Chains A and B, each alone.
Chain A
């Protein structure tokens, strides 16, 4: 009977202790932002991601387990630019006023990012699942990490102002490590600078632009629309004309189709880490970028 009474406050949710003591509970929509938040927050934060690296973030299913994570969150870090707009449904089901849109515990990273592929003409769905605000897949561009971590730093400092100095130190230490790596990455990709690739979905435009690589075409006829045979035939011709030997594909996309297109064009399909945790060895932010740099350098040589 005593035990029964003991669970009453727990069920009422009035005295449930924070599992991680004093740590700031942060939830991110995608694993890249989890990795960057972890880099800034260090041991002072407990970060969870609502999705996994092997998922297509556009199509994440809103599960009650997401609502549970959000119910307890002090800060929600969302990518924005319509990559993760499903999070609004999860937030509505979480009954946590801190992280509702406009609340103090919510940050949208894309607001601080100069987005690429912003449509300059009128767009509609005949163009596929276009993003009117621009391409939202910026998180794995290491050159944008300073801007992303700056927004995360501001968000964390807002919910835990007493740790601001520590967050700043963590961020600077991370950026220093990143800068060192950046020099190595630039050197690694220098010999293949100007190299041409075809991608399945335009996930890598920021990364490719950063390192001077060129996206010649996409397997998807239009974003989110399966390719037609005519489109694929045209793409293969284009690859042969431009001597494109590499097709980049996300782990969650149709790898067989990517391999077939690459083979027809005399090239190879390369499964690339579309996010932290997408492939083996891409366990944190730096190792994920490192994986992509090395894989691309080897494939383009």
Chain B
């Protein structure tokens, strides 16, 4: 009995002693749980914050330490350009490629057809590919860009196409003091429209003054052109070029020791963000195959009005003129001089994104022959998309002389033509400047 009492007392003591201890444990657990709950909340908030942040990204690949401009020795050192290709991922093209198709239909009078006196001489009343162009362009290395353009088109009736290297040039981009050099074969930067391919012009045909003074292909020469854009508060560009002088209509000597020398000055004004005015003067001096001097001076002006928020210009105005001074062989050892002039002006209104209406007026003499011609060409352009364009134009041309536009019994003194143009772009095509 006594032993039982002792055991009972001992149990009581243990129980009394143990009760506070359990309570303390429970309290500790509660605290721990509370801490864990807080911690969970913190983590959850942190996670939310992290989720609202962007995915961690690797540092941009192009970050590199500044490199000093290349010295002459650097430029002269061979750089193994072909070794670069395997280092890039397979299947990655290292340049851009694009195809442009430009088809034209010309409908005119039978007499004009007979005389081959239409805008596209020899291709009257035909639907033909004027320019199908394959362009490859891109960066050669950190110092230069290059472009190669191969062009095919119908030059004579019969469906036979002529393919030729239209352009192949290299532009050195990293020359100091705002200089840049372009070497190779290219459309010369003479005036505004000459440097543009026919499919990029706002009309179905090349302005008469350019066709008369430089031929249908325009001035496209082989040589070097150096441009300079100084660091001035207004835009100013000057360029000079030295070329073979192969153009058969204006020059034709084709010798670098008696070269074709060209030059252009250009400036741009932006009186308010909605307006843009480009002004330029150009000159070209070379020799004909008979070693007679031929000099052409030109001006170009272009204005655009683009209302704020518009995706395209509402109004575009432009004009160009060429004044030609040319020595001609009149009699043996006696040379005469021809001073002839031509110009055009045009206006285009584009009230809707996909439609434009315009008209061009041409007035031009011929470089050597007597006489003159004028023409008026209203047109409408429709773009179903950025890469597809249709244009319909009517052109009336009046010439002061029958000859030489009366071959094969035809007569092209007065010419009425309906021109239809369809152009498309496949792949890359560089943006066109103002």
Interface residues of A (CB under 8 A from B): 10-14, 16, 19, 52, 54-56, 59-65, 67-68, 71-72, 85-86, 88-90, 92-97, 100-104, 106-108, 111-114, 125, 128-129, 141, 143-144, 146-147, 150-151, 154-155, 158-159, 182, 186, 224-226, 251-252
Contact = CB atoms under 8 A, between A and B. Distances in A.
B433 A151 contact: no
B350 interface: no
21 contacts: A16-B232, A52-B308, A64-B268, A65-B268, A88-B431, A90-B433, A95-B175, A95-B179, A97-B175, A104-B67, A111-B60, A111-B61, A113-B57, A114-B57, A125-B387, A128-B385, A129-B385, A143-B52, A147-B54, A155-B63, A225-B385
Contacts of B53: 143, 146
Contacts of B228: 95
Given A13-B178, A63-B270, A86 B230 contact: no
Nearest to A65: B270
A129 B388 CA distance: 12
B212 interface: no
Contact of B173 (A59, A92, A182): A92
B434 interface: yes
B312 interface: yes
B266 interface: yes
B196 to A, nearest CB: 13
Contacts of A90: 433
Contacts of B233: 16, 19
The 9 closest A-B pairs by CB, nearest first: A13-B230, A64-B268, A97-B174, A86-B431, A102-B142, A95-B229, A104-B66, A68-B235, A13-B231
A102 B232 contact: no
B70 to A, nearest CB: 9
Contact of A97 (B62, B141, B176, B385): B176
Given A71-B229, A146-B54, A112 B59 contact: yes
B139 interface: yes
Contacts of B430: 88-89
Given A61-B431, A97-B174, A111-B62, 14 more contacts: A59-B311, A63-B276, A63-B434, A68-B234, A68-B268, A85-B431, A89-B432, A92-B171, A97-B176, A102-B62, A103-B174, A111-B60, A114-B55, A150-B59
A158 B63 contact: yes
B324 to A, nearest CB: 27
B177 interface: yes
B109 interface: no
Given A16-B232, A102-B142, A63 B309 contact: no
A59 B234 contact: no
A56 B433 contact: no
Contacts of B60: 107-108, 111-112, 151, 154
A12 B230 contact: yes
B227 interface: yes
Most chain A beta-carbon contacts within 10 A, residue among B61, B145, B173, B430: B173
Nearest to B144: A100
A112 B57 contact: yes
Given A64-B278, A112-B60, A100 B142 contact: yes
A101 B52 contact: no
Counting contact residues on chain B (CB < 8 A from A), the size range is 35 or more
Interface string B311-354: 11100000000000000000000000000000000000000011
B75 interface: no
A107 B433 contact: no
Contacts of A112: 57-60
Given A89-B433, A97-B173, A108 B178 contact: no
B178 to A, nearest CB: 5
Contacts of A150: 57, 59
Contacts of B237: 64, 67, 93
A103 B142 contact: yes
Contacts of A147: 54, 57
A158 B276 contact: no
A27 B434 CA distance: 19
B311 A56 contact: yes
A263 B105 CA distance: 44
Given A95-B179, A111-B61, A62 B433 contact: yes
A62 B432 contact: yes
B163 to A, nearest CB: 25
A293 B19 CA distance: 59
Contacts of A97: 69, 173-176
A144 B180 CA distance: 37
A64 B433 contact: yes
Contacts of A65: 235, 268, 270, 276
B309 A54 contact: yes
Contacts of B431: 60-62, 85-86, 88-89
Contact of A54 (B55, B67, B176, B308): B308
B78 to A, nearest CB: 19
Contact of A158 (B66, B268, B386): B66
B268 A107 contact: no
B433 to A, nearest CB: 4
A252 B67 contact: no
B64 interface: yes
Interface string B132-163: 00000001011001000000000000000000
Contacts of A186: 52
Given A89-B430, A95-B227, A182-B52, A64 B59 contact: no
Contact of A107 (B62, B231, B306, B353): B62
Contacts of A61: 306, 313, 431, 433-434
A178 B273 CA distance: 31
B179 to A, nearest CB: 6
A211 B387 CA distance: 35
Contacts of B270: 63, 65
Given A95-B178, A96-B178, A63 B268 contact: yes
A212 B176 CA distance: 51
Nearest to A102: B142
